[in-house]
Amino acid sequence: MSDNPAFDTIKSEIDKNDVVLFMKGTPLFPQCGFSNLVVQVLTHLEVPFEGVNVLDDDDVRQGIKDFSNWPTIPQLYVKGEFVGGCDIIKEMFEEGELHAYLADKGVPVRGMATA
Amino acid sequence: MAGTVEAAIRQKLNAAFSPQSIEIVNESDSHSGHAGHDGSGESHFRVYLVSDKFAGQNRVARQRAIYDVLADELAGPIHAFSVTARTPDEIG
């Protein structure tokens, strides 16, 4: 794929966690309005997720843009699949698609019966 | 009066997507004093684009196509950029 060393870090986060949000700041203290919006949506849907603060590591901050071929942050991954950034997550949430998408992927989400 | 960055965004999107409708909102002034506000007055934009070129493309593909066209601006002066991309059929 590439010899970019940040890709290993990114790949390992995506492999390790079903839902990963690459964001500015942390889920508790987002440092960007767009990252905050996605955190609020995931929190509202009661989705467990891992937040990766790209401000902690310049290589990951640039690396995730190259990895996804997507020049902006935040970026949401579910089960290894790139879902989108803030605009897409907001649209999917508003149109009721995000809940269905997450449930379909087998991710625990608000209102879903647990086995 | 539109600035040079806004003019470049409009020209490139018009050329690439021949949109039925295009709206570019410069939100830079509402972010003054905030990180990424560089004083240029052209750092934060919101774009609404309606084009039949988006037909058959999912959200990620549409936004990626827009990002590709505006790669220079996104790598340079633009700090924040929001996109809504629709086809004419989706406008109800």
Per-residue pLDDT, A111? 83
Indicate yes or no: CB of A71 within 8 angstroms of CB of B82: no
- CA Rg, chain A, in Å? 14
Residues of chain B positioned with their CB less than 8 A from the CB of A92: 59
Whole-number Å distance between alpha carbons of B88 and B53: 10
Contacts across the A-B interface (CB distance below 8 Å):
32
Query: What is the distance between the alpha carbons of residues A77 and B57, in angstroms, rounded to a whole number?
Result: 19
Query: Tens digit of pLDDT per residue, chain B (92 long)?
Result: 678 999 999 999 999 999 999 999 998 877 666 666 677 788 899 999 999 999 999 999 999 999 999 999 999 889 899 999 999 999 87
Query: What is the pLDDT, as a whole number, of residue B1?
Result: 61
pLDDT over threshold 60, residue A113: no
Res. A91 pLDDT band, cuts 50 70 90: very high
- Domain ranges in chain A are 5-104
Give A43→chain B minimum CA distance, Å. Answer: 22
How would you classify residue B18: left for phi > 0, otherwise alpha for psi between -120 and 50, otherwise beta? left
Amino acid, single-letter form, for residue A113: A
Q: Which CATH class is domain A5-104?
A: alpha beta
Cβ distance of A84 and B84 shorter than 8 Å: no
Task: Work out the average pLDDT over A66-93.
Answer: 97
Q: Which residues of B touch A (CB under 8 A)?
A: 35, 59-60, 63-64, 67, 71, 74-75, 80-84
Strands B21-26 and A81-84: unpaired
Looking at residue A3, its pLDDT comes to 76
- What is the ipTM metric for this complex? 0.89
Are A83 and B79 contacting, i.e. CB atoms less than 8 angstroms apart?
Answer: no
A31, A87, A92 ranked by CB distance to B63: nearest: A87
* Structural contact between residues A56 and A86, judged by C-beta atoms closer than 8 angstroms: no
The predicted-structure confidence for A7-65, as pLDDT tens digits, reads as follows 999 999 999 999 999 999 999 999 999 999 999 999 999 999 999 999 999 999 999 99
CATH of B4-90, one of 3.40.640.10, 2.40.50.140, 3.40.710.10, 3.30.300.90: 3.30.300.90
Question: Cβ contact (<8 Å) for A88 and B80?
Answer: no
